[in-house]
Amino acid sequence: MAARISVLLVSLLLVTSAMADERDAATIVKDAIDHWRGLSSDTVMTMVIHRPDWERSMTMRGWTKGDDRSLVRVLEPRKDRGNGTLTDDNSMWSYSPKVNRVIKIPSSMMGQSWMGSDFSNKDVARADDIVDQYDHSILSSEEVDGITVYEIEAIPHEEAAVVWGREVLSIRDDHVVLTHKFYDQDGELVKTLTSLEIAEMGGRVIAKRQRMSKVETPDEWTEIQVVSVDYEVELKDSLFTLSNLRNPRE
């Protein structure tokens, strides 16, 4: 009888430990997302798209509010000024002043390139799918320069409508994401988001410069660098509307 109780206790401890690990891993991922965007944010950034025979850059301003609203608008170069992307919950729209038309991005196009970059529409939307539709586990942890870095694997639920077979993130215990790797359904690495520069901005430590690169085309990449950022700013709901996307008032 005592042996049976001991086995039962060990089993319960193992299950409890696994559940705690999953909760901790999911919390680490969610905290990193929340740390990056804050309750609200107002950011100026540059984006450089590099190809072997050409390179172009643009300056953008982006706003976020809560978990599901964001707006990104191109400031420079002049020929692209006014191009914008709006996300609200699970919906996404783009606007081009040249054609004066707002286009809703269907779910089938969320994996396609955003503004010709190596970031997808889904990357820019920064939806919480990786929190809500994935199971998480800590693969390892190590101390790097006195900071704990967690390697976390995120595997989508069977019914989740997502592109990736799994994602692996390296996240510091101060919530900064060092790398974010995306694997296809066959387990092959497709692309990696790497933090190249980390700095204190807007009162918190963030990844100031990040590069997205694909395995098949290593000489092609896109970098986004934060120029300035303010967190926990007062933003009107009217900022995140189709009307404001087409006719900016902010």
User: What was the pLDDT predicted at 8?
Assistant: 44
Q: What pLDDT, on the 0 to 100 scale, is given for residue 108? A: 83
Which domains does the chain carry? Answer: 2-246 (2.50.20.10)
pLDDT on residue 17: 43
Write out the chain's pLDDT in tens, 250 residues: 544 544 444 444 444 444 445 559 999 999 999 999 899 999 999 999 999 999 999 999 999 999 889 999 999 999 999 999 999 988 999 999 998 899 999 988 888 999 999 999 988 876 678 888 899 999 999 999 899 999 999 999 988 778 899 999 999 999 999 999 999 999 999 999 999 999 999 999 999 999 999 999 999 999 999 999 999 999 999 999 999 999 887 5
Give the model's pLDDT for residue 22: 52
Query: What ranges in 112-195 are assigned the alpha helix state H?
Result: 121-125, 129-132
Residue-level pLDDT at 162:
80
pLDDT of residue 23: 52
